[in-house]
Structure 1
């Protein structure tokens, strides 16, 4: 995005053009042509880009999206509003009050932090993203300072907390090597020697987390969105799973894990199967869900929990086991056809099954809908017909 064109959008004429463009189709040539009668092509392109990005941003940022500004890569990296709000609330509850965002992008986290009552400042290497972040704070009536700077050269000592969200994408796509992040992993490790909060990808390996640093995995509406490292006074445990949903927020930590050998012993097929939330799995807290359900692991290496009774918990989906079906494909097909199943959801863990391919080979034609869990119990492959509890 051109910096001058974006700055023009913030003028009175630019805002009027953006208002006119809001009701149009950004992909329509005729709509674009109608705008070009009164504005320069580069200004029309900038306005239509914002219209499209605002539409896409609603899923992440809700009603704020209609007033905010974006760049394509900035929107891609922006945190979902409920997740950012959780992080900001946790920082607010810590008693610390000033935060510097090192690599603030379009300012999504600055918005959440400022709304939580924190004093915020942000830096970014890209002048366009800095201008967008500044505009977003202003558009939402929030305070905060934003400037162009290299995050690795900023003196953070004047702030209570340093926050960073290293860029994990390049022109070639997602970057999995930590040394290819911007800022790179050594910078993150140095930052974690003080009171800091660092947002990372949810696939973060446990073994790279430094001693004394808390690792929190966060899911929103059952999608694992991020891993967050908390250091210094912000670290309160070793591992945490936080689940955000329609019912609010719930959290498990390693302190909720049962004592070794205290879980219920498996005794045949369970009456219910629990499918832990992805954040719980990433955090290595499946056994905490088993303890919560007075249950057991179906297999020591698989994230399914067997339970003797129905359990309502934000940390897992619960299913009643209707019956065990044949695990082998041919008799499984016969059993499902006998039950009139035509629409089949296949859930699998710990077995070599590709649900889409298996569903195609089963070639079911019935009218009933069913859910099948394919996994291992005590090392043996099983197929369980399940349903939500009554």
Structure 2
């Protein structure tokens, strides 16, 4: 969205048209919808803009719930925006640390600032991109204690502000195409600037979950968060908002429940051993935080093979940090024999999970020529370095 499109969208006509549209339906006849709106006298540019916003609002419900229906978005802004459920956790850190005024530097469309303002924190939000800053201002209008600035993070005067939250831009948009930045040195603001603020105030920095661990400063708290099985972020915390004695944390959110595993540092992997009666797949946040060893030792499990994130045990255990499977049968590792074995069991629908094996599950599924009414789950991995194929059922 460019500046002219935003001005048109924020006009009384534009906002009335957007708010009057029915819920976005991907199956609807978009050509007919456009034609109908044009017949009503709306300019073609405005029609395109409001329909784009309607689509973004529909997608945004996954992150913002019902709030999305009264917010505005940009494509990259929505991509990087924090889920409201997780943003509330960020805000809670500052509130518990008695940081009453937070600078949201690089606020994007305002998702984190919204969560902070909702618990009555004072927020100074800054965004370098003019259109995105205007959208953030619109989204944060209901909160009188929020000030939105069209400024680069590095230019914001921080006097009297007790804490800072930064979500450095990790994508760049050119010619309508958004590209993820591979080099952390290209983030905006830079990590040197973000981490450097910790010398003067309480600081939290949101990064991608796959961020190079060597970039995490010594002494910071690093928390990986997964939501419904998807690892969504790495939060790096300093000062009052970092918890004493915690260097690594994995927060696992599923539905309305949340569970966390913490440690002073990376945990040592558990020893590898032979396959037990049960197989466990640790949550991605546990894997990213390198707390697999602690998870194994807590539950009497061990690694199936060094360096591969599967655990095994002789007795079943229930943990929010791992999905469990009962081993039904060892299958032949040879592809031809595996195909024959699956066909003999009438398995026509097969979920394939793999770790430590160089195979494309979709291509393998085609080559297996499955047929039959039965469903099954197959795990392809290594047991103490050797290839194994395991027929399993979820606990």
TM over 0.5: yes
Change over 3 Å in CA distance of 1:42–1:187 after alignment to 2: same
Task: Specify every segment of 5 or more residues in structure 1 that has no aligned partner in the other structure, as ranges.
Answer: none
Change over 3 Å in CA distance of 1:17–1:257 after alignment to 2: closer
Change over 3 Å in CA distance of 1:116–1:300 after alignment to 2: farther
Is 2:103–2:123's contact at 8 Å kept on the other side of the alignment?
yes
Change over 3 Å in CA distance of 1:128–1:277 after alignment to 2: same
Is 2:301–2:312's contact at 8 Å kept on the other side of the alignment?
yes
Per-residue deviation at 1:27? 7.1
2-side partners of 1:23 and 1:94: how far apart? 40
1:213 aligns with 2:220: yes
1:367 aligns with 2:373: yes
Change over 3 Å in CA distance of 1:120–1:324 after alignment to 2: same
Match in the other structure for 1:173: 179
> Which of the numbers 349, 355, 358 marks the counterpart of 1:343?
349
2-side partners of 1:196 and 1:381: how far apart? 45
Is 2:248–2:266's contact at 8 Å kept on the other side of the alignment?
no
Match in the other structure for 2:275: 269
1:47 aligns with 2:37: no
* Paired residues, number: 385
Per-residue deviation at 1:265? 7.1
TM-score of the pair, normalised by structure 1: 0.91
Is 2:272–2:306's contact at 8 Å kept on the other side of the alignment?
no
Is 2:121–2:145's contact at 8 Å kept on the other side of the alignment?
no
Change over 3 Å in CA distance of 1:123–1:300 after alignment to 2: same
2-side partners of 1:215 and 1:23: how far apart? 39
Per-residue deviation at 1:142? 6.4
Match in the other structure for 1:315: 321
1:226 aligns with 2:226: no
Match in the other structure for 1:3: 3
2-side partners of 1:97 and 1:78: how far apart? 22
Cα deviation code 1:233-265 (max 9, x no counterpart)? 22221111111111411111124987x69x587
Is 1:103–1:166's contact at 8 Å kept on the other side of the alignment?
yes
Is 1:264–1:295's contact at 8 Å kept on the other side of the alignment?
no
Match in the other structure for 1:155: 157
Change over 3 Å in CA distance of 1:5–1:199 after alignment to 2: same
Partner-residue secondary structure (3-state), 1:303? coil
Per-residue deviation at 1:276? 0.4
Is 1:319–1:388's contact at 8 Å kept on the other side of the alignment?
yes
Per-residue deviation at 1:328? 1.5
Match in the other structure for 2:90: 87
Structure 1 stretch 158-167 or stretch 22-31: which is displaced more? 22-31
Task: Specify every segment of 5 or more residues in structure 2 that has no aligned partner in the other structure, as ranges.
Answer: none
1:199 aligns with 2:199: no
> Which of the numbers 360, 365, 390 marks the counterpart of 1:384?
390
**CA RMSD across the alignment:** 2.3
2-side partners of 1:180 and 1:265: how far apart? 40
Per-residue deviation at 1:20? 3.0
Is 1:83–1:244's contact at 8 Å kept on the other side of the alignment?
no
Is 2:23–2:58's contact at 8 Å kept on the other side of the alignment?
no
1:242 aligns with 2:245: no
**1:83-162 alignment runs, 5 A limit:** 83-138=86-141, 143-162=145-164
TM-score of the pair, normalised by structure 2: 0.90
Is 1:98–1:118's contact at 8 Å kept on the other side of the alignment?
yes
2-side partners of 1:256 and 1:162: how far apart? 24
